[in-house]
Amino acid sequence: MDAGARLAFALYQTFAQAFFMGLLFFVAAVLVPGSYDRKGAGRFVRERLFRLGVPTLVFMLILGPLTNLVRDLGTGRAGSFTDAMHRYAAYLASGSFIGESGPLWFTAALLVFSLVYALGRLLAGVLRGSKLPPARPPASLSPRAVHALAVILIAVIGAGSFLIRLVLPIGTSWYNMQLCFFAQYVAFFTVGLWAGRRGFLSALPAAVGMTWLKLAFAVGVPAWLLLMGFGGALHGNEAVLLGGMRWQAAAYAAWEAFFAVSMSIGLLTLYREKANVRSRTTGLLSDTCFGIYVFHAPILVGVSMLLRSSAVYPLAKAALVAAIAFGVSLAFAALVRRIPGLRKVFA
C-alpha cells in the first residue's frame, strides 16, 4: 500500500472505532427498560439468552470455524479433510471456542450487560418494594442540559479509557473482548438506560444535535491530525498512543471520548430528523441487518479469498470486496428470514 491508502485505512478504522460500537450499545440500552417493564424479569432474561446467546454460540461453534476454513482454503493451508476434522474436534474439546466469538463479541457483551441490568432491577425491586415509575418523555431538553451531559460523559469515558489502558492497552483482548474500549461501552449503555426511560431521543433539540455533529468534524478531525503529527504516530511510534503513562495515550483517550460523544449525538439527531421513515429500502435493511451482522464473516472472507490474487489498488479492492460481500450477505439474510425456524433466531 502507498501512503494514500495507508492514511485512508487509518482514518476509516480510527474514526469508526472511536464511536460506532459505543453508539450501538447506547441504542440497544434505550430499548432495555421498556422491554423489561413489559416482560418481567423471567421472560426478559429467557428472551435475551435466546436472542443474543444462541447466535453467539452458532458463531463460536459453526460460523467461526467455517470462516477460518474458508481462509485456509483460499491461502492453501487447509490440509486434508481429516486434518480439518481433528482440528475442529480439538477446538471443541479444549474449550477454546469460548474466546472465538468473532464479531459476535457484541452480542455476548450485550447479553452480559442485559443480565446485569435484570439483576439490578430485581434487587432494586426487593429493596424498594415497588416498580419503577413508567417512562414519561420530557416536554423539552434544554441545550445547557445536553451540553453538560456531553461534557460529563466525555470526561468519564476519557478518564476511564486512559486508566484501563494503563493495564490493558489497545490491541489486547480477553476472550475476544477488547476491554480497552469498555469504559465507553459501559458508559454509553448506562446513559442509554437513562435515555430510554426519559425520552431523551425525542426531546433532544435538533439544533443542539447538529451542532455536536459539526463539532465532531470541525474539532475531531484536526485534533486527530495534530495528535498523529505531534504524538509520533507519523514517525512509526504508534505504540505511545495505545496506553501507558504517556501524554499521548491520555490525549488519544480524550480525543476518542470527544469524537464518540459528539458523533453519536449528531448522528442520532440526523437520523431522527432525516431518515426516520420506513420505506421499501429502509425496511429491507432494518429486517435483514441482524442477519447480515451474524453471517457476514465467512461471506466477507470468502469474497476476499476469491479476489486475493487480483492486482487492484487497495482502496478500490476494499470497496469492491465490501460491496460484493454486503450484497451477498443481505441476500443470504433475506433468505434466512423466509425459513420459519431460523427466522426466530437470526431475524
Residue 288 is placed in which grid cell? 435483514
Is there a single domain that holds both residue 271 and residue 139? yes
- Look at residue 302 and tell me if it is in a domain: yes
- Look at residue 1 and tell me if it is in a domain: no
Domain final residue, candidates 133, 161, 188 = 133
pLDDT at 12 over 80: yes
Is there a single domain that holds both residue 228 and residue 151? yes
Alpha-carbon distance of 236 to 125, in angstroms, equals 54
For the chain, what is the mean pLDDT?
93
Is there a single domain that holds both residue 256 and residue 342? no
SS3 of the chain: helix, strand, coil, percent, to 5: 80, 0, 20
Q: Tell me which residue of 165, 141, 127, 347 sits closest to 257, measured CA to CA.
A: 165
pLDDT tens-digit map of 242-298: 999 999 999 999 999 999 999 999 999 999 999 888 999 999 999 999 999 999 999
Is there a single domain that holds both residue 104 and residue 148? no
- Look at residue 330 and tell me if it is in a domain: yes
Q: How confident is the model at residue 135 (pLDDT cuts 50, 70, 90)?
A: low
Is there a single domain that holds both residue 252 and residue 170? yes
pLDDT tens-digit map of 76-133: 998 888 999 999 999 999 999 999 999 999 999 999 999 999 999 999 888 776 566 6
Is there a single domain that holds both residue 231 and residue 259? yes
Q: Tell me which residue of 45, 62, 178 sits closest to 113, measured CA to CA.
A: 45
Alpha-carbon distance of 130 to 134, in angstroms, equals 12
pLDDT tens-digit map of 32-57: 999 999 999 999 999 999 999 999 99
Least confident window among 115-119, 132-136, 299-303: 132-136
Is there a single domain that holds both residue 119 and residue 236? no
The residue whose grid cell reads 469504559 is 183
pLDDT tens-digit map of 163-177: 999 999 999 999 999
Alpha-carbon distance of 191 to 113, in angstroms, equals 13
Domain final residue, candidates 276, 299, 322 = 276
Residue 160 is placed in which grid cell? 476511564
Q: Tell me which residue of 56, 67, 45 sits closest to 99, measured CA to CA.
A: 56
Is there a single domain that holds both residue 255 and residue 219? yes
Residue 154 is placed in which grid cell? 466525555
Domain final residue, candidates 133, 166, 195 = 133
- Look at residue 341 and tell me if it is in a domain: yes
Is there a single domain that holds both residue 150 and residue 175? yes
Domain range for 83 is: 31-133
| pLDDT at position 128 | 74
Alpha-carbon distance of 347 to 288, in angstroms, equals 6
Residues 6 or more apart whose CB falls under 8 angstroms from that of 183 comprise 156, 157, 159, 160, 161, 163, 164
- Look at residue 103 and tell me if it is in a domain: yes
- Look at residue 12 and tell me if it is in a domain: no
Is there a single domain that holds both residue 224 and residue 299? no
- Look at residue 169 and tell me if it is in a domain: yes
Is there a single domain that holds both residue 113 and residue 209? no
- The number of distinct structural domains making up the chain is 3
Please tell me the total number of residues recorded for the chain in this structure.
347
Is there a single domain that holds both residue 159 and residue 240? yes
- Look at residue 11 and tell me if it is in a domain: no
